[in-house]
Amino acid sequence: MLRKRSPLVICGAFTFVAWNVVLVFVLMKRPSSPGTVDNQLEPNDVQQKPVGGKLDNIINEVLRVADAFEAELESQKKILLQIQNHWSVWENKDGTQETKPKATAANNAVPVVIPILVIACNRVTVKRCLDKLIEHRPSAELYPIIVSQDCGHQETSDVIGSYGSQLTHIKQPDLSDIAVPSQHKKFQGYYKISRHYRWALNQIFNSFSYSTVVVVEDDLEVAPDFFEYFRALHPMLKSDPTLWCVSAWNDNGREGFVDPGKSNLLYRTDFFPGLGWMLTKDLWVELEPKWPASFWDDWMRHPDQRRDRSCIRPEISRTLTFGRKGVSLGQFYDKYLRFIKLNSEFVPFTKMDLSYLDKNTYDESFEKEVYAAPLITVEDIKSGKLSGPGPFRVQYSSPDSFKMLARNIGIMDDLKSGVPRAGYRGVVSFLSRGKRVYVAPPAGWSHYDPNWS
């Protein structure tokens, strides 16, 4: 968020500048002091005074004035610093005021610009996506919105263009069909989406020269703290080599499956969630040369791309999809996605300690909590006979047993390269009737089996 300076600080700064302008003007116009060469000599006596003596006096006077001027500047500087230290404040989002911490190199640094890339095609309902982005955006300068449109759909183009200078509208120039294998003719749309992503991300990182981007699609609505969430996690994504993305999405974030009292809770996940996600230019430099012709999101979930890296995801999603119609023909939408809970309260993530997400710290705590939880059965969950506050653990040992458990519980049952949706170290977390449950492999888990799919 951009913070507004206190009017008192602005006034103090203005007074400081004005005072010194007046001071310079007075000193420049000031007549020589008594006792100087010009005051002692009559005009007719000028030739009688040695030139060297007059020059020395002039130099001495200039030095004296300069010393006085420097001392006055130093005095004014101290006054201004005192004003800043005692009265420097900023306004929070809710309008309350807090004392500003003492200035450091970190909080004096220029904040990074995090653009939002909206991938659009032929949905005029992109308006819902853009309206929410603009409504919740705290700064147009720090979060420029770039809408990349494919498909050449004029009505959608008109909707995007109606926002004028509030966003930048770019258009993917190649609208031709793509030659695909005969068995993939019905998947032409997936090939075009992959082509569009590649072009759009190249625009962001190579043409616009941004170092980071958050990607959303035209059928996503964002939460009030969407921008705050990504701002807070940006430093971690940049510095932690075990992370490769930050996602706003929880695949199992259905109403009743998440804890509404823990909207500030974040997780590490081995599953690439997408649906509102942040990546860096460094990652794009790695991925772009081998970017796939189609099915880019499943390609991202392959071990060759993931390389044992994780993403950060929230307990409660910061995006909500409203696009039932698309190339996936509503796959999962009616059964899962339309029930996803969108966070509604603002969480000040940038003011929170997120060090618990550090891999070593997180892994130790996560494993202890999961495997210290008592084992239960699917029948226990379905009957609601869970005694105690939890957490609890239900175990699987094969892809079939995982899918059976997931279908009976109501969480998403598909595996991609062996990784369950929202899973970390094979474990999926969800809430059942207000109690935390972990769907977990046996203790001693070491790696995913890509053949589990």
- Is the pLDDT assigned to residue 121 strictly greater than 80? yes
- Is the pLDDT assigned to residue 148 strictly greater than 80? yes
| Phi (first) and psi of residue 360, to 5 degrees | -65, -45
Span 149-172, mean pLDDT? 98
Rounded distance between C-alpha atoms, residue 443 and residue 245, angstroms: 27
**Final residue before a domain boundary, out of 356, 383, 402:** 356
Please report, in angstroms and rounded to a whole number, the separation of the first and last CA atoms in the chain: 42
The pLDDT assigned to 155 comes to 98
Radius of gyration of the chain (CA): 31
Rounded distance between C-alpha atoms, residue 435 and residue 429, angstroms: 11
Span 389-407, mean pLDDT? 97
At 334, the pLDDT band (50, 70, 90 cuts) reads confident
Span 197-213, mean pLDDT? 98
Neighbours of 267 (CB within 10 A): 19
Neighbours of 153 (CB within 10 A): 17
The pLDDT assigned to 61 comes to 60
pLDDT in tens, 436-447: 999 999 999 999
Neighbours of 67 (CB within 10 A): 10
pLDDT > 70: what percent of the chain? Answer: 74
- Give start and end residues of each alpha helix (H) in 153-242: 154-161, 188-202, 226-239
Catalytic residue among 240, 259, 282, 297: 297
The pLDDT assigned to 355 comes to 97
Neighbours of 270 (CB within 10 A): 22
Domain co-membership, 97 together with 135: no
At 166, the pLDDT band (50, 70, 90 cuts) reads very high
1 inside domain: no
Residue 51 structure tokens: 């030139």
2 inside domain: no
Rounded distance between C-alpha atoms, residue 284 and residue 300, angstroms: 12
387: exposed, middle or buried (Cβ count in 10 Å: 0-12, 13-18, 19+):
exposed
The pLDDT assigned to 366 comes to 97
pTM score of the predicted model: 0.77
Residue 365 structure tokens: 């705590």
pLDDT in tens, 214-252: 999 999 999 999 999 999 999 999 999 999 999 999 999
Domain co-membership, 284 together with 260: yes
Rounded distance between C-alpha atoms, residue 136 and residue 320, angstroms: 14
- Is the pLDDT assigned to residue 369 strictly greater than 50? yes
Domain co-membership, 299 together with 256: yes
Span 116-127, mean pLDDT? 98
CA dihedral 87, 92, 94, 96 (to 10 degrees): -20
Structural domain range at position 273: 116-356
Average pLDDT of the chain to the nearest whole number:
84
Bridge partners (DSSP) of residue 322 are: none
CATH code at 449? Answer: 3.10.180.20
Report the domain count for the chain. Answer: 3
- Yes or no: say if 425 and 394 are a contact pair by the CB < 8 Å rule: no
The pLDDT assigned to 54 comes to 53
In angstroms, the Cα distances linking 411 to 103, 255, 372 are 47, 12, 22
pLDDT in tens, 77-97: 544 444 444 333 333 434 433
Domain co-membership, 88 together with 65: yes
At 55, the pLDDT band (50, 70, 90 cuts) reads low
- Is the pLDDT assigned to residue 111 strictly greater than 80? yes
Rounded distance between C-alpha atoms, residue 276 and residue 313, angstroms: 10
| Phi (first) and psi of residue 63, to 5 degrees | -65, -40
Rounded distance between C-alpha atoms, residue 202 and residue 281, angstroms: 9
218 carries an active-site annotation: no
The pLDDT assigned to 323 comes to 78
Domain co-membership, 159 together with 283: yes
Domain co-membership, 136 together with 202: yes
At 49, the pLDDT band (50, 70, 90 cuts) reads very low
